[in-house]
Every structure is written in C-alpha cells, then in structure tokens.
Amino acid sequence: MVAKIIVGTDEKGFVYPKVQERTDICPICKNRIADVANLDYKVKNKKGNFLGTYDHYILVSQKFKDFCEENHYEGLEFIQLPKSPLFYYFIVHNIYELDYKESLFLNYRDCCGSYDETVITPRYCKQDFYMDTDDFICRSEYRFASFSNKSYLTVVGLETADKLKKAGFKYTSKREKIIEIFSHEDRYLSAKQVQQLLETDFPNMSYDTIY
C-alpha cells in the first residue's frame, strides 16, 4: 500500500438542490463536468472537518485548511463559503495516476466526453506511476458515481494519512465501508445492492449517502 483514498463525514444537504440551477453539469446529459462553488450554500454539519455533500462536493473546515497550509501541500484550492466563513470548498488539482482496469465506465457521452456512471474504486496505481514522497494530497483522473452526483476520489500518501490521524481528523465508517465493498467486488453494484450489503452494520443508511 502506497496511498489511501479518504472520505468525509456526511454533510446532509445538496450544494445545488435543483438540477436546473446547476452550471457544473453538462446541459445535455446532466453529467457533472466541473467544480462550481455555490457561494449561497450554508454548512449544516458544523462539527465536521472533511465533509461530503449529497451531490459530492467536498467542504473542509478552517482547521483542515490550516493543516494543509502548515504542511505545504501543493495543488489545493480553497473557496470560502460567505455564509459559513469557517468552511471552504475543497478542490484538488494534482492527479494521482490510478489503474482503472477494474473500474466500469458506463455510457460514454459525446456531448461532453463524460460517462453516465463510473464505478468500482481502483485498488492500484498505474504500474509506471511514481511519487517521490509519501506526503501528498491528490485526486483521481475521473469522477466516480452517477450523473450529476459524481466527484473525484481524494488520494493521500501514507505519511499524510498518518499526519491526519495524529492531528485528530477522522473518517466516517459508512463511506469507508462503501469503498471497501467496491474495492472487493469485480462487478457493477446498484445502490440497492450496496444498501443490502450494508444493512447489517448500517440499517438506516439512505440512498443519498450511497450515491
């Protein structure tokens, strides 16, 4: 293992409640193709440091931003939310080259060059890919999940993961479990199938969290 995919706690809301209001999706197929901050959004989960919205935007706290700046991580962008001034949209620009041979890319769209769904989280980096450090924050090349609710995977080095843990940052067990399921399944799984696999540990998990 040379890196980890990190996931956040649930921010129980949509940055864009109505699809017709979104400028971050293709107007034809409605797939997400960009990161466009909605500056009117107000954070609900004020206790979290690394949050994932239902439409797969990552929001981070001032504490997380300070951590990244203290460690001089490059290629990160923080956009402040005016209505929640201690929180930021978190956008990662540097790419960690993963091996996507086990992933499924479903229904390619000529209109914007995206896929309707990208599923099965990669377990390995590309064979010829090399990072000269174990302390970094990067992202995947492709967005994962379905249609407008897609996002890049956030990939951190093992040293970074250890620093995050020592600094008191925690990851939600629900999302870790979902990633674990997809990393061990060599097939497409619907949201219903994922919910059934999780029902013993998380009997009340919603479809929004799974997506």
Identify the CA nearest to 73 among candidates 168, 152, 150, 161: 161
* In the predicted structure, residue 206 carries a pLDDT above the cut 90: no
Measured CA to CA in angstroms, residue 13 lies from 52, 84, 133, 142, 192 at distances of 9, 14, 36, 23, 21
- Contact present, 75 and 92 (Cβ < 8 Å): yes
pTM: 0.82
Residues 154-193 have pLDDT tens digits of 999 999 999 999 998 875 556 566 666 666 665 666 777 7
For the chain, the average pLDDT equals 87
Q: How many CB atoms lie within 10 A of CB 5?
A: 22
Measured CA to CA in angstroms, residue 117 lies from 73, 105, 147 at distances of 30, 6, 6
Higher pLDDT, 199 or 39: 39
**Average pLDDT, stretch 140-164?**
93
Do strands 104-109 and 84-92 pair parallel, antiparallel, or not at all (unpaired)? Answer: unpaired
- Supply the pLDDT for residue 178: 67
The percentage of the chain sitting over the pLDDT mark of 70, rounded to a whole number, equals 84
- Supply the pLDDT for residue 112: 96
* In the predicted structure, residue 95 carries a pLDDT above the cut 80: yes
- Supply the pLDDT for residue 140: 95
* In the predicted structure, residue 79 carries a pLDDT above the cut 80: yes
Q: How many CB atoms lie within 10 A of CB 150?
A: 22
Higher pLDDT, 131 or 77: 77
How many whole angstroms separate alpha carbon 185 and alpha carbon 101? 13
Identify the CA nearest to 1 among candidates 131, 124, 128, 122: 124
DSSP 31-81: -B------TT---S-TT-SEEEETT--EEEEHHHHHHHHHTT--SEEEEEE
How many whole angstroms separate alpha carbon 41 and alpha carbon 154? 22
The confidence band for 61, taking pLDDT boundaries of 50, 70 and 90, is very high
How many residues comprise the chain? Answer: 211
How many whole angstroms separate alpha carbon 114 and alpha carbon 32? 8
Residues 5-33 have pLDDT tens digits of 888 788 889 999 888 889 999 999 999 99
- Supply the pLDDT for residue 182: 63
* In the predicted structure, residue 209 carries a pLDDT above the cut 70: no
SS3 state at 198 = helix
**Average pLDDT, stretch 48-65?**
94
**Tell me, what DSSP letter sits at residue 175?**
H
- Supply the pLDDT for residue 136: 96
